[in-house]
Amino acid sequence: MCAEIDGTLNLDPDDLKKRITSRTRAVLVVHMLGTPARLPEIAEVCRANNLVLIEDTAWGCGGNLHGIPLGTWGDIGTFSFDFAKTMTTGEGGMIVFKNYGTYAKAAAWHDHGHENNPVVPRWEDTRSGSGFNFRMNELQGAVGLAQLDKLAGVVTTQRANREHIWNAIQDIPGIEPRIVPEGAYETADALVFLVRNHQLAAKCRECLIQVGLSTKILPEAYTWHFSGTWTHMPELVAAHGGNLYEAFPQSISFLDRAVSLPITVRMADDIPKKARSALQSALQG
Ligand SMILES: *Cc1c(COP(=O)(O)O)cnc(C)c1O
């Protein structure tokens, strides 16, 4: 079962409340494109309903809300280190846990069921369940540690670069900023804003491409990342009454007109100016 997003383009805590049933066990929140969801409200809904909170922090690595790192607000935080993420090990990721027992189960599960019992050699290891090989190898670990040293600098630079672009475009009529929760420290992997309608969002992308720039996920990859279009998943369709296209009107009202510009660490000086002229011709031309 999926819930609506709000103006942060992340899980809407008010809609979440309405969708909880006696069968709900956990809430999975995504910090989409590097901006934190409304975590205090979402965590409160989870506490009140005794639900496990899982944060998909694939896009929130290095960000925080009120100084608390994303991925550590909930019971479980998942991170992706694929090649396109803020920090990378080529492929792979990491999961962090609040509860030691849950951590130990997951650690065994990702390591052929090994409990890594210190009092016995590995070949006599204790086990309580089956498992897979989802281990990250040591070479990736070494890359990850080097990347970790760079993380704070990467995020700081992305934030500064995003600010340069935002300052160049924010006064263009028809541009509406994404809503950011109070106390958010975003990873600024993207600059997301809303325009009046889907046609204009598509036109923004066209005009950006004409000046050699691009967009990131929105609007072009909207159907890949939005569960309201995942009609290939019969269980999801059934959970939403058989008509997925009518299940998320609020989410569509935001996603339909969202534009996301990629932010890089090394940014050419003329990019803010180019973005401005492209968006001016899309929205005013
Ligand atoms: C990249 C990403 C994933 C997938 O991560 P993998 O490491 O490819 O499994 C999941 N969720 C979000 C929000 C992502 O950005």
Residue 147 inside a domain? The answer is yes
pLDDT digits (tens, 9 = 90+) for 61-109: 999 999 999 999 999 999 999 999 999 999 999 999 999 999 999 999 9
Is the pTM value of this prediction over 0.85? yes
3-state secondary structure the chain: CCCCECCCCCECHHHHHHHCCCCCCEEEEECHHHCCCCHHHHHHHHHHHCCEEEEECCCCCCCEECCEECCCCCCEEEEECCCCCCCCCCCCEEEEECCHHHHHHHHHHCECCCCCCCCCCHHHCCCCCCCCECCCCHHHHHHHHHHHHHHHHHHHHHHHHHHHHHHHHCCCCCCEECCCCCCEECCCCEEEEECCCHHHHHHHHHHHHHCCCCCCCCCCCHHHHCHHHCCCCHHHHHHCCCCHHHCCHHHHHHHCCEEEEECCCCCCCCHHHHHHHHHHHHHHC
Residue 80 Cα, ligand 1 centroid: separation in angstroms? 5
Residue 112 inside a domain? The answer is no
Residue 249 inside a domain? The answer is yes
pLDDT digits (tens, 9 = 90+) for 195-204: 999 999 999 9
Instruction: Name the residue at shortest CA distance from atom 2 of ligand 1.
Output: 58
Which CATH number goes with the domain that contains 22? 3.90.1150.10
pLDDT band, residue 157 (cuts 50/70/90): very high
Residue 105 inside a domain? The answer is no
pLDDT of amino acid 285: 73
Residue 41 inside a domain? The answer is yes
Residue 183 Cα, ligand 1 centroid: separation in angstroms? 24
Residue 129 inside a domain? The answer is no
80 lines ligand 1 (CB under 6 A): yes
Residue 3 inside a domain? The answer is no
pLDDT digits (tens, 9 = 90+) for 230-239: 999 999 999 9
- Atom number, ligand 1, closest to the C-alpha of residue 82: 7
Domains in the chain, number: 1
What is the pLDDT of the chain when averaged over all its residues? 97
Instruction: Name the residue at shortest CA distance from atom 5 of ligand 1.
Output: 80
Show the domain range for 160: 13-92+136-284
